[in-house]
Structure 1
Amino acid sequence: MFSWFWSQPAAQTPSSSTEILDDPLQHNALTCLRELVVVGGGGTWPPRATYRDSWPLQLRPYDTVWRAMEPSFPVAESSVDNAYNRQLIDSFRSRMRSELAHHLNMADVQSALERAESDPDSCSQAAWLGYFLCMSFLRHSYRWGVTPIVSEAQSEQSLDFPEQLDLPWKYLQQHFDTTSPGGCMTSLMYTNLRPDNRLEYSVTVGMPETHQSTEFWNTKLISEMEVRVLPMYHLFALAVAYLDAGDLVAASDALKSANEILKPALKFFFSTMVEANLSQGVWLAYVQGYQGWTLGGIDGISGGQSLVFRTLDGFLGIRPFPTPEKESLHLPAPQRTWLNFLREYDIRAAAKARGEECAGVTAELESLVKQLRLWRMGHMRRMVPYESAHRPERKTMTAGISVVDASDEDQMIEHLKRQLGQRLAQTV
């Protein structure tokens, strides 16, 4: 059994999750945030999933299947030979179908899923999250057949998944209220970081240490950002509650504290996104690629789906907001409920309507906007060497927007710069 370990202190359950749940203040903002923690995260945010031994017995063979397939998913050197790659993809899928058929009884699987859905005591939310992780890794690896991903798989217009991967997915979509046929930030990233600071599942088994550490830090960065900003979410909810109660001093103080939390969190983002942690030559091929999807016009996951940046945009009224249809692809219902509350409340508009008496609140909100703008400016520069790595075995793409209409990496980067530049211009 492989799980990547990085020698850091074990991650602790953030105390702010408890503080949110124990906060006696009653307001819809806090209700939505508590739902994020309890329902969205299984009692803490970011989610801390539980794995194989916590699942219903009939579902545990899925972990067995992934462990059997895990070492054969990555290859050290990619080929540009389409015929060879087709053979490689078909062989991987054939072996997975064989493993699934050998280990799983679908009548038992369906019975276990029906019971888990109807009887929460038979399967905790943390166990659901761990199972969601496992099924996402199985579906994404089956979709691509090999990593680094290759154009032969990208060119596929459709793909029939085995019943063993399709039937449980319908239950997972229903349980988490998502519509994507592939994984999401929650199921591929947040849930994959164990409390002891290891990855539960990996797509770089057998690869050099640089590959393994890049995969670890990519997941660690996304999850740790949520740990660091959860107190900020709490302060956002409190600021709304205080503003509604007419306590403008308390609202301003809450936002000032939120600014003080956001600054080191964004600094952590950039201090982590460096070559020593995230190899520019490895990230695009081994970490970003398999998170894509491209089938049926459906995109995969991207950093833009991270809750922290969706929360900042929603709270600060940075438009346009994603359409409900787009957001329901990848964001489970509790995340959407939290975001939609912030968007509908529109604290900047509420403060503006109060005029000069809200000057302190408005000033703190503008400081948050300024921090977000500076982050987006820095991110535009940082992403260029990561996204522009030359990968001749695949079409130009990003995981979050599928194949890009660009003939080479330079044109793709210009396309991405235009998109990011547009979002920067909207951050006002």
Structure 2
Amino acid sequence: MEVSLNDTVNQSRRTEYQCRSRGLLQERVDMEKVKAVLSTSENGHFSVIKNEAYNGFYACISALRHAFRWGTVPVVKVAQRDKIIQFPPELDLPWGFIRRRYGITSQGGNVMSNLQCNIDNATRRVAYAINGSMPEPIPSAEYYLIYSFTEPERKALPVYYHLVQSIRCYEKGQRQACLAHLQGISIHLKSVFRIYYENVVESKIPRHVFTAYIQGFHGWAAGEFIEDEYVEYDGTSGAHLVLFNVLDYFLGLEPFFDEQDFMRYFSHSQRRFMASVKAHAFRTAAEQANNFGLTEQFEKIAKQLRSWNYALNTVILNPPANGT
């Protein structure tokens, strides 16, 4: 589709899309059946909708809500002026169940819904693509971004294992075993960061493609009134990645989000895990005990994290103009 800078044309395109969306949803969705199934699942009959299926449903409804919220890709200025979105009931009713199921409060999606639940187990296929009919490199760039937010969590499983085991060993006074697990964290973080270094690059995700055709769709910049107070939601952010919040807590660093934002964008199970890591983090205790072996390993992990943050912000997402 040709990009327009005319507000009247853009609003007309948005209205046309939203009208077609309302019509198709009303025609194809049996609201009574949807409500009955979701209510049965919510009331304790979890076998009605398996976890994997609910994750896919989460991704589907989130993608449809983002599409309805913006109405066009690329996102246009006139859409950003809309701060209260009147969703069709077919997208509103399920979202209430989703909010309660996952323990999130945002009206829009997050990294879990829009990216991590939106790719198959073989990390080869995107279920709900934004730009499936667009010419290359747009679809490929979309895939590489989703892959780069999904694969690191798979690679992070050994990191989580060693992190939890290091806490267990420290609390049992097993200092050498604890040291070995801290070393294991450093080793496995390398393969996690490699995903970003190899995929979040200009050659795979060109900046002009990322900004125009991918990034905007995952934003939100709208909200709702809660007890007569307007609350706005930001939409999807790289800061929603669980691994880096866990590492911040484990290293005794201040989190990027405040408690309210964690409630908006992280599921209750993710929040419980992060809270447990925070409660049992022992870097400060190791420093106070002058355990130089452990503190040295903590510093190595922190250095890896600082290096990755620098690369992400200066080289990967903002490469030099000449591409070198």
Q: Same fold (TM over 0.5)?
A: yes
Q: CA RMSD in A?
A: 1.5
Match of 1:151 among 70, 77, 81: 77
* TM-aligned CA distance change 1:320 to 1:335, over 3 Å: closer
Specify the SS of the correspondent of 2:296: helix
Match of 2:310 among 377, 388, 391: 377
For the residues of structure 2 that align with 1:328 and 1:98, how far apart are their CA atoms?
33
Specify the SS of the correspondent of 2:137: helix
Question: Residue type matched to 1:129 in 2?
Answer: N
Residue 282 of structure 1: aligned partner: 209
Question: What percentage of residue pairs aligned between the two structures are identical?
Answer: 29
Instruction: State the Cα distance separating 1:263 from its structure 2 match.
Output: 2.0
Residue 51 of structure 1: aligned partner: none
Instruction: State the Cα distance separating 1:367 from its structure 2 match.
Output: 0.4
For the residues of structure 1 that align with 2:14 and 2:105, how far apart are their CA atoms?
26
Whether the 8 Å CA contact 1:88–1:146 is kept in 2: the answer is: yes
Residue 102 of structure 2: aligned partner: 176
Match of 2:254 among 319, 331, 334: 319
For the residues of structure 2 that align with 1:288 and 1:165, how far apart are their CA atoms?
22
Instruction: State the Cα distance separating 1:320 from its structure 2 match.
Output: 4.3
Whether the 8 Å CA contact 1:178–1:329 is kept in 2: the answer is: yes
For the residues of structure 2 that align with 1:273 and 1:158, how far apart are their CA atoms?
33
For the residues of structure 2 that align with 1:162 and 1:89, how far apart are their CA atoms?
15
Question: Residue type matched to 2:309 in 1?
Answer: R
- Mapped pair 1:232 → 2:167: no
- Mapped pair 1:82 → 2:33: no
For the residues of structure 2 that align with 1:240 and 1:385, how far apart are their CA atoms?
37
State how 1:386-397 maps to structure 2 within 5 Å. none
State how 1:110-129 maps to structure 2 within 5 Å. 110-118=35-43, 119-129=45-55
Residue 130 of structure 1: aligned partner: 56
Whether the 8 Å CA contact 1:317–1:346 is kept in 2: the answer is: yes
Aligned length: 310
Whether the 8 Å CA contact 1:182–1:293 is kept in 2: the answer is: yes
- Mapped pair 1:95 → 2:20: yes
Question: Residue type matched to 1:98 in 2?
Answer: G
Question: Residue type matched to 1:136 in 2?
Answer: S
- Mapped pair 1:292 → 2:258: no
For the residues of structure 2 that align with 1:340 and 1:321, how far apart are their CA atoms?
14
Instruction: State the Cα distance separating 1:141 from its structure 2 match.
Output: 0.2
Whether the 8 Å CA contact 2:119–2:125 is kept in 1: the answer is: yes
Normalising by the residue count of structure 2, what TM-score does the alignment of the two structures yield? Answer: 0.92
Normalising by the residue count of structure 1, what TM-score does the alignment of the two structures yield? Answer: 0.70
CA displacement 1:133-167 (0-9 Å, x = unmatched): 00001100000001110001001121211111111
Instruction: State the Cα distance separating 1:321 from its structure 2 match.
Output: 5.1
Question: Residue type matched to 2:193 in 1?
Answer: L
Specify the SS of the correspondent of 1:294: strand
Instruction: State the Cα distance separating 1:81 from its structure 2 match.
Output: 0.1
Instruction: State the Cα distance separating 1:385 from its structure 2 match.
Output: 3.6
* TM-aligned CA distance change 1:276 to 1:321, over 3 Å: closer
For the residues of structure 1 that align with 2:315 and 2:179, how far apart are their CA atoms?
33
For the residues of structure 2 that align with 1:292 and 1:156, how far apart are their CA atoms?
13
Where do 5+ consecutive residues of structure 1 fail to align? 1-74, 389-428
Instruction: State the Cα distance separating 1:122 from its structure 2 match.
Output: 0.9
- In the TM superposition, structure 1's runs of 4+ consecutive aligned residues that sit over 2 Å from their partners are 382-386
State how 1:278-427 maps to structure 2 within 5 Å. 278-296=205-223, 297-320=232-255, 322-353=257-288, 355-356=289-290, 358-382=291-315, 385=318
Specify the SS of the correspondent of 2:133: coil
Specify the SS of the correspondent of 2:156: helix
Whether the 8 Å CA contact 1:184–1:330 is kept in 2: the answer is: yes
Instruction: State the Cα distance separating 1:171 from its structure 2 match.
Output: 0.3
Question: Residue type matched to 1:81 in 2?
Answer: N
Instruction: State the Cα distance separating 1:345 from its structure 2 match.
Output: 2.1
Whether the 8 Å CA contact 2:151–2:195 is kept in 1: the answer is: no
* TM-aligned CA distance change 1:272 to 1:117, over 3 Å: same
For the residues of structure 1 that align with 2:218 and 2:73, how far apart are their CA atoms?
10
CA displacement 1:314-342 (0-9 Å, x = unmatched): 11111145222111111101111111111
Specify the SS of the correspondent of 2:197: helix
Whether the 8 Å CA contact 1:314–1:321 is kept in 2: the answer is: no
